[in-house]
Structure 1
């Protein structure tokens, strides 16, 4: 439901999650023009209160018992679901904090799946800390796919900023493993999910996709590798035959120049850094991690816990603000598309 509030998971409370959530609430409430989509934090009432005091932040925090209370409470202060908490130990992650981060993620996912929240915004977690609690997932994206009863391959990570969207087709794997993981079927499968997500949640009726090459100069006709001719080009031809607007393989060093970026709505990249380096170089403070292919909307700031600066007042809330705004926009767009269909 587009009129339901957004749920924001707390992330690891020893990281910068609490302070960027507080800062995002204050800055969004202070913005003139259209009001921010109401949101609530899933747990951490005491954590956020301590963070506000520690950082001398004048932010009222309002405890709520149910997501339905968030819209009303949002005008008085930052709504926070009571009942889940831990000590506030900035820069010093502890087991209790990891347990809170996991519980917040689990409950936030339940609220989104049930429709009590129109989208889920996830603050950064420390996966190494969660693993000690039995969290057997490479990241939050895979957890969400499992929670939605989907295979991991159906949850596609897209990094989005004001001027660029990129999709890493392979993610947290060694670079040496990438060529063996690529297949025409995998590329076409994920490209279809990206195109559907751009239509459903971003309102792009005819999405344009650019697909990167793997090798220098996109293989130079096989001189620097044959993945382009053997794997990538057949996928592009198959997608074109389905009526999708797809071009490539585009050499990685030409894909992100200003003129090229104007010709596509999303760039599909062969490996993690090929997608994330340009996004972070161009739009680090506004980069949003969006998960496509799920029945729920999920966004997240495209950065980590930053334990080294947590509690020091140095964290920039720009990416969290962008993630909250994008979640609200996607919720409204998806609802409008569903009503039209």
Structure 2
């Protein structure tokens, strides 16, 4: 984030987001970070190959791992910038982000990053940051399930801090309103177009019942038009996720058509009123979706346009920096601990 220190999103930006919903533009406050494509050319030329091979193994063993890594990258960047803070475990002197309400029970893939880090420490000790590993891994995860490729600027440092409070405040939630979600993207220097494109990552991965219960017992029937297919899908979802009596951790794919393939079908489901998460469906169905509805239609009809914008938006998100880490950060020996706490690998 382009601020002197990380902080939560101010409330006034939620009102600014309303202007964006009606098509007005605002200049991003984020500057270009000092990242380069050849950052490890001399110090660790094999970094991209090592990350790719480890991600290939992870996704081959379970395609869901791709979605876990993409989500982990998003949840890292929206807190203190893309600085690896989400990877830190709690210690007696540091409260991490993993147990924040927006993260607990929702994140995975940590062991994949651990394995990549171990390989890189063997090849290039003390050189490649965990923040860069996670950013490259998210790109490779997308590519390995059929999504687009993009070049990843590198040179991030790992933070020595984490923020439970910012994780709770800055990350969007499944039941959040469209203006509120857009305001959170705006605060990161990301546009309405970025918001819709990055939501397309929900074309892979699963959601917990706790995150879609309100949707399937709320306005699902109204948005889907009660077609036979949507009625059957709704019945299936309700069998997975009871209205009362538990089942919070039961899961369902956010894209029921091609759950393990990165494509544009999630936008087609939004057009049919079958988005699993309320926050996604609002991009098409909300009375305030004057701008986002058109973008959803565009990506539903044109997968190439979606892929091109997703790649651009992922680079923009990956460029959100933590100024403090840029100056005082480190390259962790172990992604779960700052170096003063890190056990030997």
TM-score, scaled relative to structure 2: 0.26
Which structure has the higher relative contact order (CA within 8 Å, separation 6+)? 2
Could you say which structure has the higher strand fraction?
Answer: 1
| Structure 1 length-normalised TM | 0.26
Richer in helix (by share):
2
